Amino acid sequence: MNPVGKPGKTGILMPVEVALARLLETADAARIVERERLPLAQAQGRVLADDLLSTLDLPPWPNSAMDGYALRVADWTGEPLSVSQKIFAGQAPVALEPGTCARIFTGAPVPAGADCVEMQENAEVQADGRVRFSEKLSPEQNIRPQGQETTVGELILPAGTVLGPIELGLAASLGCAELEVIRKVRVAVLSTGDELVEPGQALGPGQIYNSNRVLLCSWLQRLGCEVIDAGILPDDLDATRARLGGLKDVDLILSTGGVSVGEADFLGIALREEGELSLWKLAIKPGKPLTFGHFRGVPVIGLPGNPASTLVTFALLARPYLLRLQGVEQVEPLKIQVPAGFDWPVAGNRREYLRGRLENGRAVIYKNQSSGVLRSAAWADGLVEVLEDRTLVAGDAVYFIALSEVLG
C-alpha cells in the first residue's frame, strides 16, 4: 500500500484514522465465526454471536411498584374497604373480590379486577381491619403494566455485543441460562529486543526489564482473549522462523519493539520471506512505527517497544482490531470533551495522547511525557488527545479518554 498522509520529519506520516480503518478492514475480512455455547457465569467479556430476542414480556404480568393495597378505583367511595387477600411477590393472586382491596407487596402480581395500587403510607388500617384511603386514586397508579420494559420478540442485545455484568444480568432476566458467543481470540504475544530481560533476573550491561509482556498479557486476558505467551524472540533467523512457525491456531501475533531497527531485524526478515510486511509511520505520539503484515497467513501487528507507545498503540489500534475480529461494531473508546488545564504552545505533526487526569474538571498532564516507562500512565486516569497541527491555551476543549474505557 502506498503511504498516505503528509510529510513528517522522517517521511510521510499516516493519520491514526487511516491506520485504524485499514486494520478494521482486515479484521472484517478475517471475522471469527466459530462459536460456543456458555453458561452465563462463563460468558463474561465474550461477544454475543446471535441477536438476543426476548421470549418473555417483562414484567410478565401487571405488578405492584409499591408496598400497599390493590383495589378498583370505582370501588372507592370514601368508605373503608375490607382486605380480601394478601399477595406477596412470587404468589399468584385470585381475582379481586368486588368492593374489597388486596394487601400487596412490591413486585407482586396485581389481581384481576384491580386497577390501582395505593401505597401503604397513604392508607390507614382501622381497628376492624378495614382500610381507609384518604388520597385521590387514579387508574393505573403504582402499577407496572405487563410488557412495560420488554415484549416478546423485541431485540434485546444485538449480535456483536460485548457481554459484561449488565448484559449477562439482562439475559438472565429473560430466562437465558446460556448464550452463544464467538470463540476466544487467540493472540500470541512476543517481545523483540536483545536488551530485554525478564523481571526477577539480574540485569546485565545495557539491558532493561521487559515490561510489555506482562502489560499485554494481562490486558489481553481482561479483553477475554486466549493468550499464548511466546516469550522473547530469539536473536537468530532460523530460531525466529521456528518460533513463529510453532504458533499454531493463532488469530494474531502481537509483537513489541525492534522492527524499525533494520539490521538484525529477524522478525522483519522472516515476514518478508514468508508473508508480508508493511512498516507504517503513524502520526501518533507516543507511537509512530507500527508493523502490520502476516507470517504464513497469520496476521502480525508489531507495536513500538517503548512502554507508553505500546500502551497507546494497543489501546487505539490493536484493541479495536481484536474487538472487530469478534464482530463488535463500536470499537472506539468513549471520548469526552473537557477544558484543557495546560497550554500547548508548539503544534506537533503527530497526534499526541498525553497521560492526564482531571482536576477541577480540567485535563492536566503528567510532567514527564517520555514514552520510556509507564509511570505517567499509572499516574493518569486517561489519555488527553491533542490533534496534530494544533496549539492550545488553558480552557480550550480537548478530548479525554478514560483509561477504564480501553483497559476492559
**Least separation, in Å, of the C-beta of 270 and a second copy?**
18
Which residue number, 22 or 326, has a Cβ lying nearer to a second copy? Answer: 326
Nearest to 401 by CA among 377, 388, 385: 385
Which grid coordinates belong to 321?
Answer: 482490531
* 108 lies in the site for a second copy, by CB under 8 A: yes
**Least separation, in Å, of the C-beta of 34 and a second copy?**
23
Alpha-carbon span 313 to 134, nearest angstrom = 66
* 159 lies in the site for a second copy, by CB under 8 A: no
Tell me the one-letter amino acid at 189: V
> Within its chain, how far is the Cα of 34 from the centroid?
21
Which grid coordinates belong to 69?
Answer: 393495597
- Residues numbered 88-107 forming contacts with a second copy, rule: CB under 8 A: 88-93, 105-107
Which residue number, 192 or 326, has a Cβ lying nearer to a second copy? Answer: 192
CA angle, corner 249, sides to 246 and 255, nearest 5? 65
- Residues numbered 329-368 forming contacts with a second copy, rule: CB under 8 A: 334, 336-338, 358, 361, 368
- Residues numbered 128-147 forming contacts with a second copy, rule: CB under 8 A: 144
Q: What residue has cell string 517521511?
A: 11
**Least separation, in Å, of the C-beta of 258 and a second copy?**
8
Among 167, 251, 352, 385, binds a second copy (CB under 8 A): 167
* Bond prior to 333 in cis (omega within 30° of 0): no
- Residues numbered 228-267 forming contacts with a second copy, rule: CB under 8 A: 260-261, 263-264
* 149 lies in the site for a second copy, by CB under 8 A: yes
Which residue number, 261 or 347, has a Cβ lying nearer to a second copy? Answer: 261
Which grid coordinates belong to 343?
Answer: 497550554
Among 194, 238, 273, 389, binds a second copy (CB under 8 A): 194
Among 214, 269, 364, 387, binds a second copy (CB under 8 A): 214
Specify whether the CB–CB gap between 38 and 48 falls below 8 A.
no
* Radius of gyration, CA atoms only, the chain: 30
DSSP structure class, residue 368: -
Which residue number, 47 or 298, has a Cβ lying nearer to a second copy? Answer: 47
